[in-house]
Amino acid sequence: MDTHDPALILHGYWRSGTSYRTRIALNIKGLRYDQVSHDLRTGEQRAPDYLALNPQGLVPALEVEGHVLTQSGAIIEWLDERYPDPPLLPVSAIDRAAVRAMALLVACDIHPLNNVRVLNRLRDDLGASPDAVKDWIAHWISQGFGALETLVTRHGGRFCFGDRLTLADCHIVPQLYSADRFGVDLSAFPRLVETVGRVHAEPAVAAAHPDRQADAG
């Protein structure tokens, strides 16, 4: 049953991968929440009122119980502690470490290299051509997906780790969306693509898709 917590306000952006993964986690938990959009294309995340909430000027941020949480990984783990059913981490410590490793592979080694501020730095400050930027994106996504293909083959079941949605799914789904948006060739990662297709079909995940957000466009 959905839980409406009026104290939950998610600051994000429809196409932001970090906002997307946070929406997935909120939806898996069955939480209803308010959203405030900050258009990254126009730099709204650097507006003074938002910087007062999140001095890093990034999305997402979650207002909760008089506090502001930042960094999607920290937000999702807080959600898992505050609303433990259904859990986003397995029971055993070894399995939890494996799930966290899959999530961190995306959060630390793929996504940061292809986010808006990095790509803008390549284009505007370092003079990278459109083809060079495209190659940069494809290189880091493909390198990370090569590892994820092995890990999903090793640990996956119905979903990216076993047969329950986990922290790994929250992170991997938005990264596949990003890869598709950038036109990255995914033919070398059949197990990963097949598994994410099943994850996408879950109602909680489908509802978090960027195209279904009020600020999409």
Listing from the earlier edge strand, what are the strands of the sheet with 67-70?
A: 31-37, 3-12, 61-64, 67-70
Per-residue pLDDT averaged across 114-141, rounded? 95
Do 59 and 40 form a contact (C-beta atoms < 8 A)? yes
pTM reported for the whole predicted model: 0.95
What is the rounded (10 degree) CA torsion for 133, 105, 168, 139? 30
Do 128 and 168 form a contact (C-beta atoms < 8 A)? no
Please, what is the average pLDDT of the chain? 95
Q: Give the whole-angstrom CA distance, residue 122 versus residue 21.
A: 25
Q: Give the whole-angstrom CA distance, residue 27 versus residue 208.
A: 7
- How large a percentage of the chain has pLDDT more than 90? 94
Q: What is the pLDDT of residue 1?
A: 41
- Can you give the C-alpha Rg of the chain in angstroms? 17
Please, which residues have CB within 8 angstroms of residue 10's CB and are 6 or more apart in sequence? 19, 22, 23, 26, 33, 34, 35, 36, 60, 61, 62
Per-residue pLDDT averaged across 97-110, rounded? 98
The token duo for 99 is 């799930």
Query: What are the tens digits of pLDDT across the range 47-83?
Result: 999 999 999 999 999 999 899 999 999 999 999 999 9
Q: What is the pLDDT of residue 217?
A: 83
Q: Give the whole-angstrom CA distance, residue 51 versus residue 45.
A: 7
- pLDDT of 2 strictly over 60: no
Across the chain, the runs of DSSP E, i.e. the strands, are 3-12, 31-37, 61-64, 67-70
Q: Which of 5-19, 68-82, 119-133, 191-205 has the lowest mean pLDDT?
A: 5-19
Query: What are the tens digits of pLDDT across the range 129-171?
Result: 999 999 999 999 999 999 999 999 999 999 999 999 999 999 9
- Model confidence at 7, pLDDT cuts 50, 70, 90, reads confident
Q: Give the whole-angstrom CA distance, residue 153 versus residue 165.
A: 16
Q: What is the pLDDT of residue 40?
A: 93
Distances 42 to 29, 45, 66, 116 between C-alpha atoms, Å = 32, 8, 28, 11
Q: Which residues of 140-179 are buried (b: 16+ CB within 10 A; e: fewer)?
A: bbbebbeebbebbeebbeebbbbeebbbbbbbbbbbbbbb
- How large a percentage of the chain has pLDDT more than 70? 97
What is the rounded (10 degree) CA torsion for 9, 109, 197, 217? 50
- pLDDT of 35 strictly over 70: yes
